[in-house]
Amino acid sequence: MITDKHTIRKQILERRSALTCEILDLAGKTAAEKLALTEEYRKAKTVMLYMDFRNEVPTGNIIDMIRSSDKVLILPYTNSAFMIIPYEIPNTGSLKDYLFQSGFGISEPDPALCREADPMSIDLIVIPGSVFDINNNRIGYGKGCYDRFLPKLHGSACKIALTYDFQVLPSVPAGPADVKMDKILIINTTRLE
């Protein structure tokens, strides 16, 4: 069994990069349906999401669902030191009006147009990652952005990972700085093909 994070991440991300547009579209719809059914989502007043990138489980449908509800949508802005800063996205107007493309090509909130949010106000955070395991451990992308951000949340904030079935392994290497997820929502790609 492979035990180093870099090798595991590389293998899984290569497989993820091969997903078709059709699978991504269905995965985005499925993810919104699954999240909407969770008690954590129903109870949450403030939800933080990621903007999908490089074939992560698409979040566009979830963003639309939040913006058409009475919930508050938070999206991450990552600064040059790879620190996540949460920003509240207004529910009025087009989402793209509040975003810009980062140097990495990721859509992020425009700090000039959005209000910085208090991490303690977040009830639910939906988190991407490269690999997970059945014990809710997560391997990110190697910069530690979420592992540094998640401890800033209120202790009652729910951490839900959104991932494809092939990204969940029996076990992954996890250290003391790696923050565990509370729940993993798995999108079964074989049912989408």
Domain parsing of the chain, residue ranges: 5-191
The helix, strand and coil proportions of the chain, stated in percent and rounded to the nearest 5, come to 35, 25, 45
Q: Which residues of 141-174 are buried (b: 16+ CB within 10 A; e: fewer)?
A: eeeebbeebbeebeeebbbbbbbbebbbbeebeb
* pLDDT bucket at 178, cuts 50 / 70 / 90: confident
What angle (nearest 5°) sits at the alpha carbon of residue 126, between those of residues 77 and 136?
125
Write the pLDDT tens digit of every residue in 52-99: 999 999 999 999 999 999 999 999 999 989 999 999 999 999 999 999
pLDDT at 1 over 70: no
Which pLDDT score, from 0 to 100, does residue 136 have?
97
Q: What is the pLDDT of residues 62-75, one digit of tens each?
A: 999 999 999 999 99
Percent of the chain residues topping a pLDDT of 90: 87
- DSSP of 111-166, one letter per residue? TTTSEEPPGGG-SEEEE--SEEETTS-EE-SSS-HHHHHGGGS-TT-EEEEEEEGG
How many Å apart are CA 16 and CA 12, to the nearest integer? Answer: 6
The average pLDDT across 151-166 equals 97
Does the pLDDT at position 2 exceed 60? no
Contact indicator for 69, 35 with CB cutoff of 8 Å:
no
Q: Model confidence at 103, in pLDDT bands (50, 70, 90)?
A: confident
Vertex 45 angle, CA 153 and 114, to 5°: 75
Residue 3 pLDDT class (50, 70, 90 cuts): low
Domain topology for 5-191: Rossmann fold (3.40.50)
| Single pTM value for the model | 0.94
Average pLDDT over residues 137-145: 91
Give yes or no for a contact between 77 and 108, defined as CB atoms under 8 angstroms apart. yes
